[in-house]
Structure formats: C-alpha cells, structure tokens
Structure 1
C-alpha cells in the first residue's frame, strides 16, 4: 500500500490568499531564526549633565588644586588660590548643584583666624573632605603656631587636633564621616607616625609604625585614609619586611584587605575608598591582569583592568553605598576620562576631547571622595580655552528603548491576530454559502 504524502498546495486559492500564506510562513521562519540569533540591546543608557561649580573666569578664583569631594546633598568641597600661582593666598570653599543659587561659600582662607591659636591660617592642604551635614575637614597651617586638623561649614572653624597638642606634625588628606569623626595622618610627640581618628577628644590609633598585625608597619604609611559612617578606616601602608598592604581598622587591630606578599599584586594605590558595607575599592597592579581597579568585601572583584581598553588607572577610585565605583583612567587609543565600569563607552562619564562648557576638555582630576550615593561625580577640569575649574557630573537615565526582540514579538502577535481574523472570516463565508 502506497503511503500518501501530503503536499502543500495553493490550488484553489486566490492569488492574494496564496501570497498572504507565503508571507506568513516566511515571517514566522525569520522570527524563529531571529529569536535564536539576535542579542538583546541595552534597554537603558546613561548620559550626564554637567554643572560648573567654580572656574578661573570668575573672581576670586585663579587656580584650583587637589581633588574635590562631594556629599550626598550635592555639595562639593575644594581648594583654590586667588590668582594663577599656587603660592598665592588660598582657601577651602564649597559649592553645590543648585544652579538657581549657584554660589560658593568660603570655609577658610588666609583671613580666617584659628580658634585655637588666634593666628590667621597661612596655607591649607589641597584635598578637603565633606560630610552630609556640610562639615568640611582639612589640614591647615596657622603660621609659626603649627598645623591642625580643622573642620568648618562656613562660619567659625574648629580645630580637632593640633601640633600644640599630642602631635608634632599633621599633614595629608583627612576624611570625615557623618558622625563628625575624622581620620587623619600625623606623627606624635611620643614617637611614631600613623593613621588616627577622632572628633576632637582623645584620638584613636588606627595604625602606627609600631603596629604588628602579620608584619610590622613601616614609617611609610600613606597619607590618604578614608572613613565610613561606622568609623571603619581604610589605609595603605608599607611593611618593614617589604611589600605593602591595604587594611581597615577601628582602633583595635587591623584587618588585611589585600597584601602584596600574599595576594597577586605587586603594588597598591595610595588612596583606597570604603563604603558603609565595608567594601573597599582600590587601584592595584595585578600580576596577571595588569593595572586595574578592584573591590574587596571578602572576595576580590575586578571592576576594570588594563587587559581591556584602558592603559592606566588613577590611584584614588571612589565607591558609594550602592556599590558603584568611579575612577580616572587612560585609554589605549589616547586620552583619559572618568568611568564607572569596564566598558569605555557605556561606562563613560566624560573624557578628554569631549565638549564641556563651550570648550573642549583637555585634562581632569578625580579623587576617592568624588562620588556620592546618587551617582554624582565631582572633578577638577582643564579646558582648551585655558579655563580651569570644578564641576559636577549628574547621571540622567535615558528613556528605556524597546529591544529588537520586543519589537519582533509585537509584530508576531499583530500578524498572528490578523491571520486568525482572516481565517475566521473565511470560515464564516463558507458557512453562509452552505446555508444558502
């Protein structure tokens, strides 16, 4: 018995119906292939708007130095001199992202009188930090009286620690949390250098060159600690036996985050950053990945490395309480920029060659207090027209775009519905004809 083979035939169909059936079969075939081969597109892209906080075209600013810091209210603290020379009278200032009232506030300058010594401040170091209460911490010299770790918010300043007290030298880049506790570098009258913390009362020793925790810390303790709202301090220090280590502490021993003697790194960046979850972001030279930006919260995570599109990384990445990391990096193709991940396009904030404030960006600086929890980024910029200033980059999520597959699905549903309606009409016409 011969087996009958059913063949597709358009016999008895009108030309229009036959064409419709062909189109439908081809579309379904293409759709199936597409579902297996198309990669979903990114449904959301991030762009940035930029706010000019202060620049050299507006008095009294003549030059800016160091790395600005930003709090969760969008207020930036920065160092500036009053003309084009670093030896000129300088000060610590703040500005915010409110473009309607975009003015700067003087925290301290050469006219400010020390609350402790009654001397005028003569110089201020270049990397202030600011907390969410608007309190700024910085290191200042007040003439022959010495140096102090000082806080202020626009009125009178408060000296937390001074070389007239338990310290004979205070320098570096202090940090401050929302409780008002500062972490700072200094050397004590009793001997030894280290990282300390406090809010003006008795200080806590986080680490000094007599600390023994799996090795004796060297006198070369880096001078850029960071502190979170729980009072945990992160720092980088060399070890007497060789190598260097990034550690955290609260004044009762230290916890090793990464050590060049035991971990696959040959060097570590000077200025690590810590968030309230105790996640530490740092720059390092990895033995296999090359230079990169990494985080550690019990396990190492690579944010970006030089095996990708980047040629170098700044030593001071910043991490916020959402786990976002921002950093400065150079590109293999030339130039440099600020990024928030390993994709030089999707994770770009701004890079040299980009348009900014009516000119072209030719240089920038970014530090480990430069990112807030809203994703705003404070940075120092240099423009082709010689303007120099401080700016905030604010992320603006774009309207999500449908993916190709979503559009394809909509088309399939629409065409399927049309085909069902066409077939129903055909059946209805046939039934009506048979009744007649």
Structure 2
C-alpha cells in the first residue's frame, strides 16, 4: 500500500493544528503569539511596558493614559482590568520601576516619584498599599517578577548606605520582617532578592571574606547555590527561583564565558553560555517544571537592540522563541525585551517593537503560548496548499552585532 498520501496528510494535519483564526495570534516554532496590548489596536494606551505573567496566563503591564500612568492586567481576550488607578493628574503621577503579579492577580511594583512617595507597593482592584520606602532603608526601588509570591509577600533589600547594616526583608503592607542581615557571614547584598511560594528567598551577596555567590535561605538555614570558589569567577546577576527551590542566575565562569545556570545547592546545570553563538544575556526565568526562558544577544546580531531574541535553551535556532526580523502582528520585529517570567504552562510574556509595511512603529506586550504537538485526525487539501505556501515563504535574515549591557529591571516606565 502506498504510504505517500498518509504522509502528506499527516504533514497537512500538523500544519492545521498550528493555524488559528484569531488575528492577534501568529505562529513561530511551537508557539503562537497573543497580543496582550499594543499601541496600534489599543489607542488609549501609550508608553507601554512591563509584562510579568501568572499561572492563569494573566499578564500585567504598565501604560500611560490621559489620566496618568497605570497598571493593567489582561489574559489577551481584549479586556483590561485596572490593577493600579492613576494618581490624580496632573498633580503628580506614578513612575513604575519593575512589576510582578501573583496568582490572585495582585501586583507589586516600584515607584520612583516623590509624590506619591517613592517606594514599593502592592495593588489590586486599583488601590495601592505602600510596603516600604527609602525612609525605611529601601536600597533599590525596583521589583523583579520573582520578588512577589502567592501569599502576597514582597521581598526587598534594606540599607542606609553600603556598609550600614544591610538587610533582606519581607513585607505585605504591615510590619517588615527580617530574613537575613550582615551580622553573620555577609557583608552586603548585591542585587534585589526573590522569593517563592514556600517563602524560600534567593539572593546574591558579597561575603566578609570577599567572596561572592548566590544563596537561598529558609527559616534561617542558608544554602549556597553557587560561589566564586571553583567554577565561577564572580559577577552573579539576575537571580530567580521556582517553587521546587531551584535557582536560576547569570554568571561568568573562570574561563571568562558568561552563561545562564541553574542550581539547587547540590548540582549546577549550564542552560546556555557564550562559547558559540550567544554574546550576552539579559534576564532569565524558571518555572516549577524547570523550563527556562531568557533574553540574549548574538555574535552576529543586530545593532542597537536590547535583545536579538528570546530563547528557551542553548540552541539559538532550535530554541528561539522569537527574534529580530521575525513577523509579529503583521509587522517585523525590530526590538525585544524579556522582562522575566515563564509560568507553569510554559507561557512566556515579552515586550516587542515592530515596524509595519507602512514604516509605522508599533509597540506592545505579547504572550507566547505553547502549541500542542498532537496531529489532528482530519486533514484537507487546503491544509496541504497552506503547508506548501508556508514552506516557500521561509527566509533567513542576517543581522549585525551589538551586545546589550542592560540588566534585570533596567527599564523605567515614564510618561
């Protein structure tokens, strides 16, 4: 029996399983892309930024309106929920620096203005509760996507100055709780800490003996994830943690290569490094299934971009989620920023800048949704024709290089 028709039918069925009639969705590899918000279709919003995600697929983003800067949430259906109401305008306005969302759709954010007071806040239903301010010793006014858990607990660093009693603490709008301080082995906590749903805190620190590392702490018990006594030379950045206690971080090895690594206190795994095509990394995230996502620049990458692409593994081709030059929302991607976040369904949010056929620039926040790899039972001639059209339309695009030096939470959203 001739197997060729069955083979062609299977190919057509696979293609049809990737097709969707939603105009906000496009296909790349094993993902479809959903527009959460963009300034072409949502003309009331401008100055769009952010994009952390929760396990419900809800994405939080910052946008300016005629009333001021606000935080909204959406699952991509076209409806928006106000998570933070604008401050009375034009008296003053929030300037959001860093954003997180938990599974109850509560958001946490940093505010850089003096009025409303600078500090870290939690908000749901539009009204914000202040958690901590610089007068409390807040050292960095920023929130990473992994700094806020499902219990509504926010973690942050406190320090009046570089060597004056640095502390990692948590809060939810009431009294602050100290997690770890510099009374023991640590001299300073180098970057904002993160927390999981079991209240395990992961952080980067410099020790009093000059060593550096990534650590976790739970109920006073400290675990070393990685330090510069063996494999690493130091310079740990961009730490995250999942609910199984596995941390993810960016670091330099002793051979000078930068990489994305995961560790649990027993083993360290290299996710990707700069030994071949990658030239640098920008932000990373890990979910409870140990799936990862990160932004990266490439050795043959584009100029003046934050990232050449967003990736889920070490192969810049097979593991590319989306990259500069790819199609999205009827335009061509010209810039990308992965602010961090991959939920337990494997959905990944990101910010993108596009250029349409008329030369107009479109900016927005998008969500990548994994596509089922199952082959449907029914096929059609239309599917075969579509598959053929898809095959003839593929093209590779060359790029130029420039490594980005932007790190986690480097974007500040202003109006």
Q: Same fold by TM-score, threshold 0.5 exceeded? A: yes
Equivalent-residue separation in structure 2 for 1:122 and 1:254 (angstroms): 40
- Whether 1:123 aligns to 2:107 is no
Quick check: 1:289–1:305 contact (8 Å CA) kept in 2? no
Equivalent-residue separation in structure 2 for 1:387 and 1:311 (angstroms): 27
The change in CA–CA distance for 1:304 and 1:92 in structure 2 (over 3 A counts) is same
The change in CA–CA distance for 1:329 and 1:193 in structure 2 (over 3 A counts) is same
Instruction: Identify the residue that residue 389 of structure 1 maps to in structure 2.
Output: 364
Instruction: Identify the residue that residue 123 of structure 2 maps to in structure 1.
Output: 152
**Cα displacement (A) at 1:345:** 2.3
Matched ranges for 1:255-404 at <5 A: 255-260=223-228, 262-288=229-255, 290-297=257-264, 298-314=266-282, 316-335=283-302, 336-368=308-340, 370-384=341-355, 385-399=360-374
Equivalent-residue separation in structure 2 for 1:230 and 1:160 (angstroms): 20
CA displacement 1:79-111 (0-9 Å, x = unmatched):
23348xxxx9422221213x3xx2222222432
**Cα displacement (A) at 1:354:** 0.4
Task: Give the RMSD, CA atoms, in angstroms.
Answer: 3.0
CA displacement 1:213-241 (0-9 Å, x = unmatched):
3xx322x6213x22111001112233454
Equivalent-residue separation in structure 1 for 2:69 and 2:323 (angstroms): 28
Rg: which structure is higher? 1
**Cα displacement (A) at 1:50:** 0.7
CA displacement 1:171-215 (0-9 Å, x = unmatched):
1215211111111233369x533321133333222334x2423xx
**Cα displacement (A) at 1:63:** 1.7
Gapped regions of structure 1 (runs ≥ 5):
1-44, 114-119, 402-436
More displaced stretch, 278-287 vs 237-246 = 237-246
The change in CA–CA distance for 1:254 and 1:348 in structure 2 (over 3 A counts) is same
- Larger RCO (alpha carbons 8 Å, 6+ apart): 2
**Secondary structure at the counterpart of residue 290 of structure 2:** coil
The count of aligned residue pairs is: 335
* Pairing partner for 1:196 from 160, 169, 183: 169
Quick check: 1:235–1:271 contact (8 Å CA) kept in 2? no
Matched ranges for 1:18-33 at <5 A: none
- Whether 1:207 aligns to 2:177 is no
- Whether 1:77 aligns to 2:60 is yes
Please identify which structure carries the higher helix content. Answer: 1
